[in-house]
Chains A and B, each alone.
Chain A
Amino acid sequence: MLLAKVAGAVLVMGATTCAGWQVAARYARRPGQLRDLQTGLAVLQTEVEYGATPLPEALQRAARAAGPVAGQIFAESARRLAAGGGVTAGECWEQAVEAVADTTDLGPEELSVLKALAPVLGASDRADQIRHLQLARHRLESEEARAREERQRYERMARYLGVLSGAALVLILI
C-alpha cells in the first residue's frame, strides 16, 4: 500500500515537472527560431535583390540558412512549388507556413507576419518584394526582442511551478 502511494506520488510529480520543463523549453527555443526566420528571410531578400535565381532554389538556400526548425517553412514551400500543379508561389508559402507551424515554437503573431508575405512572393516587382521582406524582418526583430524578454521572465517560473504544483497535488491527495 505504501509502495503504491510512493509510486503514485512519483508519477504525479514527474508528470507536472515534465510539463513545467516543456513549457520552459518552449520559451527558451522561441527567440532562436525567430532569429533563424530573420536569417532565412535575409537570404531570400539577397537572392531577390542580387541574384536571378528562380524562386524554388532561392527558397532552398534560405532553408539551409534558417536552420533545422525555421528552415522547414522555406523547405516545405520550395517542395510544394517544385511539385507544380498550378499553385502560385504565394499559396505555396502560405500552405507551407500552416503545415509546418505546429512543429515549431512560433506563435500566432509571427505566423501572421509570415502569411502577410504570401501575396507578395514571386508576384510583384523586385523592389516591392524587397520592401516587404525588409518589413517582415523588421517585425520579426521586435518580436524576437519580446520573446527574449518573455523567456527571461517565464522560463524559470514555468519550471518551478511544474515542480511545486506536483508537490502540492501529492500533498493534497496523499
Chain B
Amino acid sequence: MLDVSLLFKIAGVGIIVAVMATVLKQAGKDEQGQMVTLVGVLLVMMVVVSLLGKFFSLVRTTFMFQ
C-alpha cells in the first residue's frame, strides 16, 4: 500500500476525473463535470490527509514529540 502504487492511484484518479470533466463539458453538462471534479478531489483528499496524519505523528515521535 505504502509504495509507488499509491502515487499511481492518485494520479490515475486525477487524470480520469480530468477527462470525465472535459467529456461532460463538451456534451454541455458542465455542472455535472464540476461535480465529478469535486468528488475526485475529495476522494483523493481523504487518502492524502490520512497519509499526512501518519506523517505528522511519525515526525512527532521521531523528533521527540513536539
- Answer yes or no: do A and B interact: yes
The yes or no answer to A18 lying at the interface (CB within 8 A) is no
Tell me the bound Cα distance from A156 to B19 in angstroms: 13
A156: chain B residues at CB < 8 Å are 23, 27
Residues in A148-169 with C-beta less than 8 Å from chain B: 153-154, 156-157, 160-161, 164-165, 167-168
From A154, A164, A172, contact of B19 by CB (8 A): A164
The yes or no answer to A4 lying at the interface (CB within 8 A) is no
With most chain A CB atoms within 10 A of its CB, the pick from B13, B16, B29 is: B16
The yes or no answer to A174 lying at the interface (CB within 8 A) is yes
The range of chain B's interface size is 10 to 19
Q: Are A153 and B27 in contact (CB under 8 A)?
A: yes
Given contacts A157-B24, A168-B13, 14 further A-B contacts (CB under 8 A): A153-B28, A156-B27, A157-B26, A157-B29, A160-B19, A160-B20, A160-B23, A161-B20, A161-B23, A161-B24, A168-B40, A171-B12, A171-B13, A172-B13
Q: Are B23 and A157 in contact (CB under 8 A)?
A: yes
Interface residues of chain A: helix, strand, loop or mixed (majority) = helix
Residues of A within 8 A of B (CB): 153-154, 156-157, 160-161, 164-165, 167-168, 171-172, 174
Tell me the bound Cα distance from A154 to B27 in angstroms: 6
Tell me the bound Cα distance from A92 to B28 in angstroms: 41
In whole Å, how far is A155's beta carbon from the nearest beta carbon of chain B?
9
Q: Kindly count the residue-residue contacts between A and B in the assembled complex, taking CB atoms under 8 Å apart.
A: 36
From A157, A171, A174, contact of B16 by CB (8 A): A171
Residues of B within 8 A of A (CB): 9, 12-13, 16-17, 19-20, 23-24, 26-29, 40, 43
Tell me the bound Cα distance from A171 to B8 in angstroms: 9
A157: chain B residues at CB < 8 Å are 23-24, 26-27, 29
Tell me the bound Cα distance from A164 to B37 in angstroms: 13
A171: chain B residues at CB < 8 Å are 9, 12-13, 16
A154: chain B residues at CB < 8 Å are 27
A165: chain B residues at CB < 8 Å are 20
B19: chain A residues at CB < 8 Å are 160, 164
Tell me the bound Cα distance from A164 to B22 in angstroms: 12
